[in-house]
Amino acid sequence: MTVIMGVLNVTPDSFSDGGRFESVDAAVAHAVELTEQGADLIDVGGESTRPGAPRVPVEQELGRVLPVIEQLTARGIRTSIDTMNAQTARAAVAAGTEWINDVSGGQADPEMFAAAAELECGFMLSHWRGHSADMNALAHYGDAAFDVRDELRRQVDKALDAGVHGSRLIVDPGLGFAKDHGHNWRILGRLDVLEELGYPVLIGASRKRFLGRLLPDDAPIQARDLPTAVISALAAHSGVWGVRVHDVVSTRVALAVVDAWKTGAR
Ligand code: PMM
């Protein structure tokens, strides 16, 4: 079955949950709820990556995510750490996190691959071309599906050279990161190209801006959960490893449809 990764942004400025989970208790309660709804793991992040977002000092990031990870680990809830900082990744893994989810694919922090190799945890490696402040200017491709595959392959090779074991790698096209809506749809329409890399694929489309273009201008952010769930179904049908979503309930149902579609039983 396709893995559901529930999003837990412990930030005051995340575009999609608007800082509602700033306090540790509220964050933990939300993670428990997502787990009860069917999330297989919780992706904990303390630094917003929305376009134009400022960087957060590592100490502040650690202060946000560590208490949450400690409590989730104590409850037996599996987590990934959404960070571009090796220091945060190390501390999170020491607190029980099983995967490093680095949206920069090891590019933002030169220590990241060494940390991942040493920690022997899973590593989610995303396609990335630059920090949020300037990523929109970097959204130029010949064919986004093939260019992203090739750039991911180069980064995967660097991870392997640094000692990260191939069996621990998961690749992600980084939808919305230095990509416009057309690039995102091209990548999604050709997931077979990404699958050529031979690694499990993770897709993070949830509530992203390109989905807003399918909806009325005044639609609330939660209206993006329907197109997100449809993408979860289509991505699962093409065989991806996992989907990273804010609304677990709708994606759970979408994945049940795919399962019934494929097996003829439910
Ligand atoms: N997108 C965001 C944050 N982390 N991680 C992975 N692996 N893939 C993504 O597409 C991704 C990510 C940005 O979205 P958010 O601000 O809603 O969390």
Q: Are 89 and 63 in contact (CB under 8 A)?
A: no
Residue nearest to atom 11 of ligand 1 (CA): 204
- Average pLDDT on 30-44 reads 98
- Assign 15 a pLDDT band (cuts: 50, 70, 90): very low
Q: Is the pLDDT of residue 125 over 50?
A: yes
- Assign 139 a pLDDT band (cuts: 50, 70, 90): very high
What number of residues does the chain have? 266
What's the 204 CA to ligand 1 centre distance in angstroms? 6
Q: Are 156 and 116 in contact (CB under 8 A)?
A: no
- Average pLDDT on 98-112 reads 98
Count of CB atoms situated within 10 Å of the CB of 115? 23
Which residues participate in catalysis according to the annotation? Answer: 208, 244
Type of residue at 223 = A
Q: How far apart are the first and last CA of the chain?
A: 13
Q: Is the pLDDT of residue 104 over 90?
A: yes
Query: Which residues have C-beta atoms less than 6 Å from ligand 1?
Result: 7, 9, 14-16, 49-50, 82, 101, 103, 124, 126, 172, 174-175, 202, 204, 207, 244
What's the 263 CA to ligand 1 centre distance in angstroms? 31
Q: Is the pLDDT of residue 188 over 60?
A: yes
pTM: 0.95
Instruction: Show Cβ contacts of residue 171 under 8 Å, excluding neighbours closer than 6 positions.
Output: 124, 125, 126, 127, 152, 156, 194, 197, 199, 200, 201, 202
Residue 63 tokens read as 């202060």
